[in-house]
Structures are given as structure tokens and as C-alpha cells.
């Protein structure tokens, strides 16, 4: 036969143990309440019946004993007051007798009460005869009858004592029964406490072994990846670790997206570079020949003013074509960096010094925010200066010959480069639309009438060859911010 096994989830295990614990608690409470009612009923029977009967029997015997001696006293001094005392105790006996008679329920009790009632009536009747004989002077008959009265008295008193003793024993038995019930209640309560403690320990074990321990292990594993701070609270630690993993995943996604964009940009530039290289070489040879012929004509010919003006226009256009060809050639060749270990802040200062006059001509103010010079990094100062100059000149042209440029330098920690130098060049021009911003680093894309569209592409290549990246952030009407990020390496 196959063994039947039931697999319970951790949640169901905890619910099951808690349900059992709750049931035991409820059952224990019900039993305790039932025992309290039972004990209350026992004591109620004792108080309402047995104690009252016992007390009434005690009073009945006392009132009987108190009737003794009054006839002898009357015989001595013939004072009728003794007969009045006797009548008062007889009435008291009758009162207690009626109370006892109304409370008895058992058959033997009723028989005992009937005996007491019968013998007491005979006792009273006989005693009244004794009093009559004494009053008539028949002392011998009265004395003989008086002895019989005493025998009745002791028989009645014996029955009362027996009746009283019986109910005292019943009270004692009831107290023993209540003690027994109380002991059972204590045992049940002790058993319930032990069971609750065991189940509580079981719940703690399930939480510790099957819930907290896996959470703790998950938190420790996540700490290695999420780099979260340790916490005494396992759930809080796991939450922090998961948040750390989410942040790392988001950062990795952003880095992957940036890397993919950079790769696509590099592939575009490689393809266009090959095209530009071939085209530039094809144009450069005849263009060099044209430039030499123009130079010879300028030396050998005597032009009129109009001819000289046309010649100058032609020479200027030839120079513009030559500049475009040189840009093509520079774009087609990956920049050959000559790396030096120095602070990028020195390059920023050199670029600003180089552009000092041009900035004045554009009526542009530059504000440099630098808390301290950037740490040394391996850079090509000339190539980096070309990037900074290109961005600043573009900013000047975008601000329509007036405005403010802010250059903000700082160091930061960015994965996977770790320590980086960040140079932000911020202008207050018209800004860049989202459509233009997505294409601004593409080669041959320009918004200028006389631009080649290669300046920012070359700058992007240079920063990329440094192992960093070039970003732009801008909104129309709020200026533009070009961000140069360069790695800071220890060696």
C-alpha cells in the first residue's frame, strides 16, 4: 500500500497550529466556566439547604434544652413567670421545627421530623400533666410522670443531634467535593498551560525554521548583490536588499541602454567614417590642385577690383570646402589620443583662456563653479580641449551673442567606472527640442546653414575614446546642459 502523505504549506501549518491553540484556549475557558458554575451550585446547595437545616436543627436542639428546668423552678416557688418562659421556648421550638420541616427532602429526614414531632407532642402533653399534678398537690404521681418526661426529652434531643450531625457531615462532604473539583480544575488549567506553551514553541519553531531562516538567507544573499545595510529585522533587511537589487537592476538597465546607444552610434560612425574617408580622399587631390592654380593666378595676374572680389570669394569658398574635407578626414579616423595624467580642470582653464576674446565678442559671461580642482585622470589635453571649445562655441552661437555659460565641475561615483570627473557646460539659450536632442550626436546632422554636422560627433568620439561619455539635457526655452563624464583611474 502506498503511504498517504499530506503536504501543508507554511501558511497552512501556522494556521493549523493557531487553530488548535485557539480551540484549546476556548475549550479550556468553557470547562473553567462550567466548573465555576458547578462549584457555585455545590456551595449554593450547601448554603441554601444544608447550612440552613443544620443551623435550624442546632436552634431546635437549643430551644428544646432551654425548656428543661422550668417545671422544677415552678415547683419550688410557684412563680407563674417560669411557665411563661417555658411557653416562649416552646413557641421558639415550634418555629424552628416548621423551618426544618419545610427544608427536608429525603425520606429518612421526613421520618426523623415525624418522630420529633410525635415525641415532642407527647413530651409537651405529658409535661403539662406533670404541671397539673404538681398544682393539684399530687407530688408523687407528678414526680413519677416527670421521670417519663425526662426520658422523652433525651430521646427527642438524641434525634435532633443525629439530624444535626447528618447535615454537618453533608456540609463536610460538599466541601470535600468542591476541593476535588477545584483540584481537577487546577490539573486541567495546568494541562492547558503546558499544551499552550508547547504549541507556542511549535509556532516559534515554524516561524524560525521555515519563515525567518529562509528570509534571513535571502537577505544575506541579496546583501551580496544589493549592498544593503544589515538589520536585526529579517523582513526589513530583505526589503532593503530587494530595493538595492531593484536599484542595481535599474542602473544596469540604464547602463545597458546607454551602451547599446553608444554601440549603435559607433557602428554608424564607423560606416560613415569609411564613406567619409573615401569621399574626402577623392575630393582632396583635385582640390589641392585647384588651390595651387589659384595661388599661381593670384601672383601672376593683375585683377581689376571686381575680378579681385570674385577671386577672393572663390578662394574663400575653396577654403570652406577644404575645411569640410578636413572635418571628414578627422571624423573618418578614430582620434589617436596622447594620454597624460593631469587634472581635467587644467584643460578647462586652457580652453577658457583660448576663447577669452571670442567670448567677449559674443558678449557671453562664463561662471566657473569649482570647489577644488578635479583629481588627476589619464586624458589627451588637446583633444579634450577641442571638445570643450566646440561645446562652448556652440553655446555662444545658440544664445544669440549674449548670455551666461556656467561650467560646473564635480567628482562622483558611477558604476561601472566608479570614480568619475563630471564637467557640466550649461547655457541659458533657447534650448534644444526633443527631436533635435535625439539626433544631435549623429554625424552630418546640423541646424546651421554653414555647419558640417560633424563637430559634436567628433566630440562624442573623443570622449568615448577616453572611456567616458557625452550627454545632453535640455528643454526648449530653458537652455542646454552638456555633461562630459571622464573616468578617474589610479594608474
Residue 348 has pLDDT above 80, yes or no: yes
Selected residue with higher pLDDT from 187 and 40: 187
Q: For the chain, give every residue range classified as CATH 1.20.120.1730.
A: 10-205
Q: Are 115 and 55 in contact (CB under 8 A)?
A: no
Q: How far is CA 284 from CA 275, 298, 457, in A?
A: 14, 21, 21
Residue 448: band (very low, low, confident or very high) from pLDDT cuts 50, 70, 90: low
CATH topology of domain 10-205: 1.20.120
Residue 166's pLDDT is 78
Residue 417's pLDDT is 60
Residue 254 has pLDDT above 80, yes or no: no
Spatial neighbors of 479 by CB under 8 A, at least 6 apart, are: 426, 427, 428, 429, 430, 431
Selected residue with higher pLDDT from 234 and 188: 188
How many degrees, rounded to 5, is the angle at CA 277 between CA 273 and CA 280? Answer: 130
Residue 347 has pLDDT above 80, yes or no: yes
Which class is domain 229-333?
Answer: mainly alpha
Residue 463's pLDDT is 86
Instruction: Kindly state the DSSP code that residue 478 receives in the 8-state scheme.
Output: S
Q: In the chain, what's the furthest Cα-to-Cα distance?
A: 199
Residue 154's pLDDT is 81
Lowest-pLDDT choice from 201-215, 336-350, 377-391 = 201-215
| Tens-place pLDDT, residues 144-169 | 787 777 787 888 778 777 877 877 77
Helix and strand tally (H, E) in the chain? 14, 7
Spatial neighbors of 274 by CB under 8 A, at least 6 apart, are: 332
Residue 89 has pLDDT above 50, yes or no: yes
Residue 240 has pLDDT above 80, yes or no: no
Percent of the chain at pLDDT > 90 equals: 2
Q: For residue 258, which of 489, 485, 423, 490 has the smallest C-alpha distance?
A: 485
Residue 242 has pLDDT above 80, yes or no: no
Residue 2's pLDDT is 47
Residue 453 has pLDDT above 70, yes or no: no
| Tens-place pLDDT, residues 94-151 | 887 787 777 777 777 778 788 888 887 887 888 888 778 777 778 777 777 877 777 8
Element (H, E) at 483: strand 480-487
Whole-angstrom distance, CA of residue 370 vs CA of residue 345: 9
Residue 451's pLDDT is 58
Q: For the chain, give every residue range classified as CATH 1.10.287.
A: 229-333
Whole-angstrom distance, CA of residue 474 vs CA of residue 131: 136
Distance of CA 72 to the CA centre of its chain: 96
Residue 432 has pLDDT above 70, yes or no: yes
Cell (9 digits) for 373: 580642482
| Tens-place pLDDT, residues 357-370 | 888 888 888 899 98
Lowest-pLDDT choice from 76-85, 225-234, 430-439, 453-462 = 225-234
Which class is domain 336-491?
Answer: alpha beta
Question: Is the entire prediction scored with pTM above 0.75?
Answer: no
Percent of the chain at pLDDT > 70 equals: 76
Residue 408 has pLDDT above 60, yes or no: yes
Selected residue with higher pLDDT from 167 and 327: 167
Residue 344 has pLDDT above 80, yes or no: yes
Q: For the chain, give every residue range classified as CATH 3.30.565.10.
A: 336-491
Q: Which residues does residue 366 pair with via DSSP β-bridges, in sequence order?
A: 405
Element (H, E) at 309: helix 305-332
Sheet with 418-427: list strands edge to edge.
364-369, 403-414, 418-427, 480-487, 469-474
Dihedral sign from CA coordinates of 231, 233, 239, 242: positive
Mean pLDDT, the chain, integer: 75
Amino acid at each position: 500500500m502506498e503511504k498517504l502523505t499530506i503536504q501543508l504549506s507554511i501558511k497552512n501549518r501556522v494556521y493549523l497550529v493557531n487553530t488548535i491553540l485557539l480551540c484549546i484556549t476556548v475549550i479550556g475557558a468553557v470547562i473553567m466556566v462550567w466548573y465555576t458554575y458547578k462549584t457555585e451550585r455545590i456551595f449554593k446547595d450547601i448554603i441554601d439547604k444544608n447550612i440552613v437545616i443544620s443551623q435550624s436543627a442546632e436552634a431546635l436542639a437549643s430551644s428544646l434544652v432551654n425548656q428543661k428546668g422550668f417545671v422544677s423552678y415552678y415547683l419550688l416557688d410557684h412563680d407563674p413567670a417560669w411557665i411563661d418562659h417555658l411557653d416562649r421556648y416552646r413557641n421558639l421550638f415550634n418555629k424552628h421545627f416548621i423551618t426544618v420541616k419545610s427544608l427536608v427532602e429525603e425520606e429518612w429526614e421526613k421520618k426523623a421530623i415525624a418522630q420529633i414531632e410525635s415525641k415532642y407532642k407527647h413530651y409537651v402533653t405529658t409535661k403539662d400533666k406533670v404541671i397539673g399534678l404538681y398544682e393539684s398537690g399530687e407530688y408523687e404521681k407528678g414526680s413519677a410522670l416527670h421521670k417519663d418526661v425526662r426520658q422523652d426529652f433525651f430521646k427527642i434531643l438524641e434525634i435532633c443531634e443525629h439530624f444535626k450531625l447528618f447535615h454537618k457531615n453533608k456540609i463536610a462532604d460538599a466541601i470535600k467535593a468542591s476541593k476535588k473539583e477545584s483540584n481537577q480544575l487546577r490539573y486541567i488549567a495546568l494541562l492547558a498551560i503546558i499544551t499552550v506553551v508547547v504549541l507556542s514553541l511549535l509556532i516559534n519553531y515554524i516561524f524560525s525554521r521555515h519563515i525567518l531562516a529562509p528570509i534571513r538567507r535571502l537577505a544575506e544573499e541579496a546583501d551580496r548583490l544589493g549592498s544593503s545595510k544589515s538589520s536585526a529585522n529579517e523582513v526589513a533587511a530583505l526589503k532593503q536588499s530587494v530595493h538595492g537589487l531593484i536599484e542595481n537592476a535599474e542602473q544596469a538597465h540604464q547602463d545597458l541602454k546607454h551602451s547599446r546607444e553608444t554601440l549603435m552610434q559607433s557602428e554608424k560612425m564607423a560606416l560613415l567614417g569609411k564613406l567619409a574617408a573615401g569621399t574626402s580622399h577623392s575630393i582632396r587631390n583635385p582640390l589641392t590642385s585647384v588651390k595651387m592654380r589659384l595661388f599661381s593666378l593670384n601672383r601672376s595676374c593683375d585683377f581689376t577690383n571686381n575680378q579681385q572680389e570674385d577671386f577672393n570669394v572663390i578662394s574663400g569658398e575653396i577654403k570652406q570646402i577644404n575645411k569640410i574635407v578636413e572635418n571628414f578626414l578627422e571624423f573618418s579616423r578614430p582620434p589617436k589620443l596622447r594620454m597624460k595624467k593631469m587634472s581635467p580642470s587644467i584643460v578647462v582653464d586652457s580652453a577658457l583662456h583660448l576663447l577669452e576674446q571670442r567670448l567677449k565678442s559674443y558678449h557671453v559671461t562664463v561662471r566657473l563653479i569649482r570647489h577644488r580642482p578635479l583629481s588627476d585622470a589619464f586624458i589627451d589635453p588637446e583633444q579634450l580641449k577641442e571638445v570643450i571649445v566646440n561645446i562652448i562655441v556652440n553655446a555662444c552661437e545658440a544664445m544669440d551673442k549674449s548670455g551666461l555659460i556656467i561650467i560646473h565641475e564635480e567628482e562622483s561615483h558611477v558604476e561601472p567606472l566608479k570614480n568619475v570627473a563630471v564637467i557640466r557646460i550649461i547655457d541659458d539659450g533657447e534650448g534644444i527640442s526633443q527631436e533635435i536632442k535625439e539626433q544631435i550626436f549623429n554625424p552630418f546632422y546640423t541646424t546651421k546653414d554653414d555647419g558640417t554636422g560633424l563637430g559634436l560627433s567628433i566630440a562624442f568620439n573623443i570622449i568615448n575614446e577616453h572611456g567616458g561619455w557625452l550627454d545632453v539635457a535640455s528643454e526648449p526655452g530653458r537652455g542646454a546642459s552638456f555633461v562630459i563624464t571622464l573616468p578617474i583611474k589610479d594608474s
